[in-house]
Amino acid sequence: MGRPLVASIGSAALKNNLQVARRAAPGARIWSVIKANAYGHRIDHVWPALRESDGFAMLNTEEAIGLREQGWKGPILMLEGFFHADELPVFDRYRLTCVLHSNWQVKALADARLGAPLDIYLKINSGMNRLGLAPERVNNVWQQLRGLRNVGEITLMSHFACAEKLDGANEALARFELAVEGIVAPRSLANSAAVLWQPQTHYDWVRPGILLYGASPSGQWRDVATSGLRPVMTLSSEIIAVQTLRAGDAVGYGARYRARAGQRIGIVAAGYADGYPRVAPDGTPVRVDGVMTGTVGMVSMDMLAVDLTPCPQAGIGSHVELWGEHVRVDDVAAACGTIGYELLSAVAPRVAFVTV
Ligand SMILES: *Cc1c(COP(=O)(O)O)cnc(C)c1O
């Protein structure tokens, strides 16, 4: 028994959330997005529960090689393609489906010596202006790719900037449709928000990420509260010390919090070096011994403090849920001015993980 801070990863919740995606997009195949080490959940802890996925999408060749070595034989989509042409032998050897978003990648692929053609996702800029070909270039590049011996199946792809908004995908969808007019090929556009809320974008392959982990693509839990999604990660710890404050006593660095009257507080083994946000204000939701309460004072590197007023029975060893089934990561994130994605993917390497 070491430090009590643990991230437990719920396999049943992952399976449930994959089913939610299937029901939402019944005609599409699913790329389960496991970039950023499965949004901080760690690929080795999630992929067995997601093996009913049609494929896995990610970013790094290291992660892709790891997944192959753990036995995944199905499709792997590399969401940004290769970063340098010298990665192409890895794409070839491990049979990685490759996004092409820039001209230099098309040239590098044309010049490569591969054992077999690679399947390609041709990425089109539909208005986000991050990655992708300009719409007016798509037809030429498509023709060019079709003539290359290194190119297998080509899928047309784009990514939405605003799919969580009402009608927020339609402008991008119209740009995409115009760009690919007349091209017969599979299409892949939808992220989690579009899987849930933009059925007109589902096409052949969808690419849910955050919904698989049971957080909201909009950053607001209320938007998915009735969707059947279940939080996958529970980040929990224990109270390791108790302080009894008198009126005027301060807590933590900078003495940001001061007790207005007598108050018990608990010190929790979790801090910003674990990925708990340092910007969390007083009152950020946390659950102690089954009771909702709030943080007090500045989060330190290894510890944070919680108000024990609503749970007078709590003491040293009491269970603390920082986020998970009862404390929505979206609510913690909202208190901190960010989204669940950032908190989950920032869980630090020193945190212990278990699969349940
Ligand atoms: C991250 C990512 C996704 C998944 O996004 P969510 O909002 O987590 O569903 C899908 N497609 C691409 C290209 C991405 O980079």
Domain boundaries, the chain: 11-217, 233-355
Please give the pLDDT value at position 110. 97
Write the CA distances from 299 to 42, 185, 227, 268, 304, integer angstroms: 25, 51, 33, 10, 5
CA distance 303 to 4: 12
CA distance 179 to 176: 5
Q: What is the pLDDT of residues 63-108, one digit of tens each?
A: 999 999 999 999 999 999 999 999 999 999 999 999 999 999 999 9
Q: Is the pLDDT of residue 111 over 90?
A: yes
Confidence of residue 221 (pLDDT cuts 50, 70, 90): very high
Side-chain half-sphere exposure of 332, counting CA atoms within 13 A:
30
CB of 201 closer than 8 Å to CB of 190: yes
Please give the pLDDT value at position 216. 98
Q: Check if 35 is active-site.
A: yes
For CA atoms 261, 262, 265, 271, the dihedral sign is positive
Q: What is the pLDDT of residues 333-353, one digit of tens each?
A: 999 999 999 999 999 999 999
Residue 45, ligand 1, Cβ within 6 A: no
pTM score, whole prediction? 0.97
Share of the chain above pLDDT 90, in %: 100
Q: 316: which 2 tokens? A: 């040293």
Residue 201, ligand 1, Cβ within 6 A: no
Which atom of ligand 1 lies nearest, measured to the CA of 211?
Answer: 9
Give yes or no on whether 11-217 and 233-355 have one common fold.
Answer: no
Catalytic residue of the set 35, 39, 121, 272: 35
CA distance 228 to 224: 8
Q: Which of 117, 65, 57 is nearest to 81 (CA)?
A: 57
Q: What is the pLDDT of residues 7-52, one digit of tens each?
A: 999 999 999 999 999 999 999 999 999 999 999 999 999 999 999 9
Catalytic residue of the set 73, 94, 253, 276: 253
Q: Which of 7, 2, 4, 3 is nearest to 234 (CA)?
A: 7
Which atom of ligand 1 lies nearest, measured to the CA of 217?
Answer: 7
Best mutation site among 191, 198, 330 for ligand 1 pocket (most ligand atoms within 8 Å of CB)? 191
Residue 208, ligand 1, Cβ within 6 A: yes
Confidence of residue 1 (pLDDT cuts 50, 70, 90): confident
Q: 297: which 2 tokens? A: 């004072």
Residue 192, ligand 1, Cβ within 6 A: yes
Q: Check if 253 is active-site.
A: yes
Question: Which amino acid, one-letter code, is at 187?
Answer: R
Q: What is the pLDDT of residues 256-308, one digit of tens each?
A: 999 999 999 999 999 999 999 999 999 999 999 999 999 999 999 999 999 99
User: SS in 3 state form for the chain?
Assistant: CCCCCEEEECHHHHHHHHHHHHHHCCCCEEEEECHHHHHCCCHHHHHHHHCCCCEEEECCHHHHHHHHHCCCCCCEEECCCCCCHHHHHHHHHCCCEEEECCHHHHHHHHHCCCCCCEEEEEEECCCCCCCCECHHHHHHHHHHHHCCCCEEEEEEECCCCCCCCCCCCHHHHHHHHHHCCCCCCCEECCCHHHHHHCHHHCCCEECCCHHHHCCCCCCCHHHCCCCCCCCCEEEEEEEEEEEEECCCCEECHHHCEECCCCEEEEEECCCHHHCCCCCCCCCCEEEECCEEEEEECCCCCCCEEEECCCCCCCCCCCEEEEECCCCCHHHHHHHCCCCHHHHHHCCCCCCEEEEC
Please state the rounded mean pLDDT for residues 97-122: 98
- 242 Cα–ligand 1 center, Å: 42
Write the CA distances from 266 to 52, 182, 291, 292, 300, integer angstroms: 42, 64, 13, 13, 14
Which atom of ligand 1 lies nearest, measured to the CA of 159?
Answer: 13
Q: 11-217 has which fold?
A: TIM Barrel (3.20.20)
Best mutation site among 125, 159, 227 for ligand 1 pocket (most ligand atoms within 8 Å of CB)? 159
Q: What is the pLDDT of residues 172-185, one digit of tens each?
A: 999 999 999 999 99
Q: 233-355 has which fold?
A: Lyase, Ornithine Decarboxylase; Chain A, domain 1 (2.40.37)
